[in-house]
Structure 1
Amino acid sequence: MKQFEISAKSNSRDFELSENDGFVGALNFIKWSSEKATIKMGSGGVYTFNIKSFWKATAQVLEGERELFEIKNNFSGGATLIPFKEEHHFYTIKARGWFSNSYSLLSYKGEELAVIKSEFSWKGFETTYNLNCNENFGNTEREQLLLLLLVQHYRAMQRAAVAVATS
């Protein structure tokens, strides 16, 4: 399996994805409490992640004004990423078990493409992330964008779990 490194900056709003010390892309949230984000790829592409609905059930990924993906969240903590004009080639993000701290990115065929997992260190009081994917996935900019969307979804689910635990 291919391994990517996710480094979270100290402000917990910025995440960088790299492979073998090479920059792949960055996920930058506008505010700490916001889900709106800018995604910058190592190849120069810039994308925007926007929430479309009031209950945060639907989001979109834009390249400029052009919609690339529509994201539909479900109540089990998963999401479906639907490419624009390619509804039959969707991707699914789902939790790997009820009390698991990992999520999988699946193709429309059910093939597991990538897995993200976090590990919390009490000593450094920081979270590290592990992202593993198939050898034949994560090579194109579109696939790397999907990996960053997996990171975004994972962060959203972690924030939701903290909100529930503290209420």
Structure 2
Amino acid sequence: MEFKKIEDSQLEMTQLMLPSHSNFSGFIHGGYILSLMDQAAFACASKHSGHYCVTASVNKVDFLNPIEVGDLLRLKASINYTGRTSMVVGLRVESENIKTGVIKHCNSSYFTMVAKGEDGKSTKVPGLILNTETSVRRFARSIIRQQQAKERKENFHDSEFRIEDNLQHLKGQNAIVEIG
């Protein structure tokens, strides 16, 4: 079985944020940032696996700081976890004000990418060599996030939903239930 160092597939992309990327408030569209994150995750996963990769899922993305027109956007991507055919790519997005040099952490997320062979089917990926405490922590946390996602999925079945069991969750919320 083949294994690779994390450093061998890490990458950093930098892009100038232009007016065409902004919304009416002058900040960069979140959807545009997500698209760049997907590109960085694809490049990192493809570099690691040696195959074309597709996005299987995106873990929570919180936009922490706005990104302004004229900022340099830096996306850092690294393989955090490898399964049999999938990889979790950790992404960190930072913006830098060119005039002041101030760097802001804008968001972080985890993209699960799946390697595809020439036949279009999922194909094996090299494993990871975990050579730092940080790499072990990131690998272990990826496993925990996968377990939590599986538990959430198992806990929510439409066929088992009973409205009367869930009305208490709506108390104090900004909603009114008016079911005939």
TM-score, scaled relative to structure 2 = 0.25
- Please identify the structure whose Cα radius of gyration is greater: 2
Name the structure where helix makes up a greater proportion of residues: 2
Q: Which has the higher contact order (CA 8 A, sep 6+)?
A: 2
